A and B are shown apart, each in its own frame.
Chain A
């Protein structure tokens, strides 16, 4: 009887993770839905609001700000919503449904690495969207942003965490790609509304405004709005996002199905 092959060395795990990232990156380029909605959409919104801002300078409720100035956080959060709520869960559910997660789980590479690679890929896209929106609005359309780096980083990290963890809840619980596409569509629409894309909470007023402020996307927009004008975000927005993230992450980890 032959002996059992020797144990693996630790270096292999890094090798296969790099390879996984490379493959996921190539696939993202070949099927550029993520690039399109995650980055393309923020660019389109940036241009649209930028042009409105140029046409009507400083006319938003006589604040002296243009539409674009006030919509920078919304545009960024929309990018996160499409990447985290749409692209990430739909891809993961599809991988599960086609048996790809299961296929990988028969190899020495844990399938969680595949999930991590997808997560990192979408985070990179989110980062790209942030940079494009900030630089585009400030240098092309001249928005008077004074990004307070510590506030901004805190708000961005929490915004992404809350939206992506909600996306992972969808990936964990949804049984099929068909359901995933429908549910994420609905959820995306709901979160876009709550973020204030169509009507900002300040305009809405009343209990609906409160609901918007305490929703995942509404809290994200609120925190970012303060941060891009170098003001400390309201602690309620911060606490709201932390609380959602903890709950969502718990559900996603607890109920994630590999097959």
Chain B
């Protein structure tokens, strides 16, 4: 009897507890609102959702997923007032981790102390839409204070992609990102007999020709590509419809299937090393001991990744081509395969990624944010310098065309090539109309899922299944097509 009494007593206590929790559980502590304000009828000026607090805060909080912008900021901005501390918060973007952390912070921005409010954050093309269409980013013209004149020099596609449904521009970028194919000059000489960019381009100008060269390279003991994901973007950025349709169905475009077929084919024939983007093998393949013909890349990758992987001894901190030309020359000459890469457009025109700066709603540092945006994304002088140092393709039409026409502009890393000339025209034609807010998770997901298929671990259907499972895990609202 005593035992039963005790059991009943504990169950009662538990139920009581349950009720207590239930009463508190209906409020969601993390969000400031459970439904977002309906901004469809508001004028652009009010799209911020609340009055932006102008003026000077003491801490400038910049969020990103890697240190690319941090490097640029520290080397080229220089306009931070003495009493302001700049804090970078970097969260790696794998598995939506960066987006999740950013979302949490943005959602509690209102209640956060001023010093912790996010002021500026970076977004990639893969998920830019999500933030652009939310009230968490500020209109750069009406809220932050840039003028049409300021941004006039930019490539229009970089503005179109971050324009929301009311026509407000919600972000700005320092780069345009035409896609390219970086090839090893020494290997090209061996396989094609030439390393001249124009002739290499002729040899690789269509996918059929690309296949032929892959065969030739294989015969000579080289691999055409490093891994499975290298050519992904070339296909995925030329799709004819976005990843998700307006009924929230996941749509796999024919071009993505084309990538799967090509990669499986290449893998079976031994034309690649089976690596994954960013892994050890991939990095090693870009280095002095690598035997890979080339890498699909965009201009941001040349300095950010390719250079580091190509060297034997790392560059000393702070040494740049324009800053310390002599020190730079000394540190790079004969160092690894510096100078052995060249770039061409490749078999298909495409773009790859790109980073945008967004001003966060609720920022307490708008003056400084405005200065940063103007200097880093609109000022032609700064942008030219960035290109000269990092070979990045910066977001200023005039600057790029000047450099393109400049006979003296040559990249030592690229064996003396003026690669800006190559892209100045094609950058104007980049078309980003098929992006969606789900791109990051789905791009990552399909590459991961099909890796098993390329490895012969699973068959095609299973890989497809795994992709859908993972996609819906990440985005519970999406649906698998019937």
On whether the two chains bind one another, the answer is no
User: Which A residues lie at the B interface, using CB under 8 A?
Assistant: none
User: Which B residues lie at the A interface, using CB under 8 A?
Assistant: none
